[in-house]
Structure 1
């Protein structure tokens, strides 16, 4: 895979001397969290502020995922970048890539992924603790935005694989809320119809345990096609949630 630079970010990165893999690998920044040392390598995330533009810079070494298509492994960022591009092509609202590249060294595989920061957005997870304090209008608007996002995702034939509140970002607008997804590494094609859809949605509803039955109905109304059996969907999601809880 050749190096990628988003056209809208190329001039900015070049102006700051950061339009190459080597420059982004070498720049000294403070990590925003502890490095991920699973998979036999490491992976870290840093915030990069360039004037009025903000990014998150991800760097990794020998942090590989193995699949049928890549039995020897590939950087997890390579998979995430492909999914970012796929979402963009399919019109699924998600984070945006500014730069991606990888390098092979003796005994080492490195990758860099730069994405635009979602400043001005907040994740659903941060809204749930104060859910009861939200106005009825705000709760409905958030639920509709989340349902619409899930609908766009599945209509485009994709399963997110980690459809959690912390991966759904929201921003208020004049008519409600916009919503978009992050953390696309586990995305895969939707192959098994309703079963895949239920499996993808249930983790969101389990983690948003504060949502009432009325909230679930509002979410599903935005998600489902007109005329769909809302009660049947609610029952199937509840059954899967109960099965998950019973296994703990």
Structure 2
């Protein structure tokens, strides 16, 4: 997509459109006028700034909900397609979220996106629902889980990563802190969602980009045992690690780890 398409891009969640209009949340300035809390120290790139805020708004059911507001001003990333001006990372994340939604890949739910330009001043905003009741994978102590539930966690995370890859997408920043899970007691399973999708892209090669995701996750999930990782790979592959596909992936992943 061109930079001009980015400047004209906007989105409002269809189920939230009336609620946001009634709340006067129609433009970036409306969201910035909310009583909000800065989540982390702002990121800066040259003259640009990127900030994340937390705020509460009223949902369609008239209950208060928490949202995260990502806001950028002149925060661009250059690429081969956009070598001069660059492209806002929020626009990249917005496109990735839309790809995931259309493909049925579970992610943090986007409510609002807008981008604008005035002269050389470029702004972008992405608002997403808080994952209430979810916990990031890096904050889960696998040793504190009963064995059966621990196996369910590994199975459900592996199946969701496989779904992402089978839909022709790679995360490219697949750290445990970017995988959120919530336990459903009645269904006896975990709901798994991905966040921070700004680097998510379609992949056109069968294994190399997928292996990079698996490598990143394996290196960062140090609190999981070797047995846990083997179970993860068996579920991800859908076959024993001793068989052809399993041997291939394990050998390639080992080689990739050595070259990382």
Instruction: Indicate if the aligned counterparts of 1:44 and 1:60 stay in contact, CA closer than 8 A.
Output: yes
Instruction: Indicate if the aligned counterparts of 1:217 and 1:230 stay in contact, CA closer than 8 A.
Output: no
Instruction: Indicate if the aligned counterparts of 2:211 and 2:253 stay in contact, CA closer than 8 A.
Output: yes
Instruction: Please point out which of 171, 191, 195 is paired with 2:182.
Output: 171
Instruction: Indicate if the aligned counterparts of 2:90 and 2:125 stay in contact, CA closer than 8 A.
Output: yes
Aligned length: 242
- Is 1:19 paired with 2:26? yes
What does 1:1-248 align with in structure 2 at a 5 Å threshold? 1-51=8-58, 52-71=64-83, 72-127=85-140, 130-173=141-184, 174-226=187-239, 229-244=245-260
How far residue 39 of structure 1 moved from its aligned partner, in angstroms, is 4.9
Cα distance per residue 1:190-212 (max 9 Å; x no partner): 12211221111101011112322
Aligned CA-pair RMSD: 1.7
Cα distance per residue 1:95-122 (max 9 Å; x no partner): 1110011110222101111111111111
C-alpha change, 1:240 and 1:208, in structure 2 (3 Å) is same
The structure carrying a bigger helix percent of its residues is: 1
CA distance in 2, matches of 1:67, 1:43: 18
How far residue 43 of structure 1 moved from its aligned partner, in angstroms, is 0.7
TM-score, L = length of structure 1? 0.91
Secondary structure in structure 2 of the residue aligned to 1:37: strand
Instruction: Indicate if the aligned counterparts of 2:37 and 2:55 stay in contact, CA closer than 8 A.
Output: no
Structure 1 unaligned residues grouped into runs of 5+: none
Instruction: Indicate if the aligned counterparts of 2:34 and 2:55 stay in contact, CA closer than 8 A.
Output: no
Structure 2 unaligned residues grouped into runs of 5+: 1-7, 59-63
